[in-house]
Amino acid sequence: ANETQMHALWDSLAANPQIRAFEYISPDQALDSLRHSPDLAPALKVLNRNPLPGAFVLHLRDPSPSRFNQLEQEFSHREGVAQIRSDRLWAERLETVSTLAESILGFCALLFAILSFLFIAHQAHQQALRQQEMRSLLNLLGAPPSYQRRPFAYYGALLGASAGLLAWAGIYWALTLITPLIHAFGALFQITLDLPPLDLRDGGMLILLSTLGGIFASLLGQGNSRAI
């Protein structure tokens, strides 16, 4: 690649949002690094000229195989680019580990949701059994079923919101513990790995869904007690 093509490639790489950082290794720098290898140093002495080309080393923000494919398609036909090489096997392994971690987190979240649902339903069921006499009195007074279910809906909403807050706090605490380990792991491969915490929108949705689930579980538990 000539100087004009090199500057054009530099500008394209600097403007690409998928690239976190990049560096240019000149032919002389590449040859000097090989001379430090005891196995290659004797062979390099017989060379009349430097056969190594200049190269750009890229560090992606998202080192996934799909990102590698996008960059290869984007730069493979550019003038001055003779070859593009990527550690695709390593990227596929990293993606497999990431998918496994997401599956484990999803399973833990589902397990927590099921246990919370069963706990709220059980508590509402026990609460309804303890209030059998009160419910009989309300029936004699002509209280509608909606009036009798209302306290259980409030009770389930309170427990559901508490479960959502507990889950949010647990996620924040877990991320606080593992974030330094994730950063250290990413630094080994010169990539940025980060697990962002839940923002207010995601946290609010978590609490809202937990509250609605708590209401449903409480009403379900109260309804089962009436069938006994």
pLDDT digits (tens, 9 = 90+) for 154-166: 888 888 888 888 8
pLDDT digits (tens, 9 = 90+) for 197-206: 777 888 888 8
Nearest by Cα to 167 from 213, 215, 217, 127: 213
Neighbours of 45 (CB within 10 A): 8
CA–CA dist 220, 228 (Å, integer): 13
Instruction: Map residue 25 onto helix, strand or coil.
Output: strand
pLDDT digits (tens, 9 = 90+) for 13-30: 888 888 878 888 887 887
The residues facing 24 across adjacent strands are 56
What is the value of pTM for the model shown? 0.57
Structural domains of the chain ordered from first start: 3-86 (3.30.70.3040), 91-227 (no CATH)
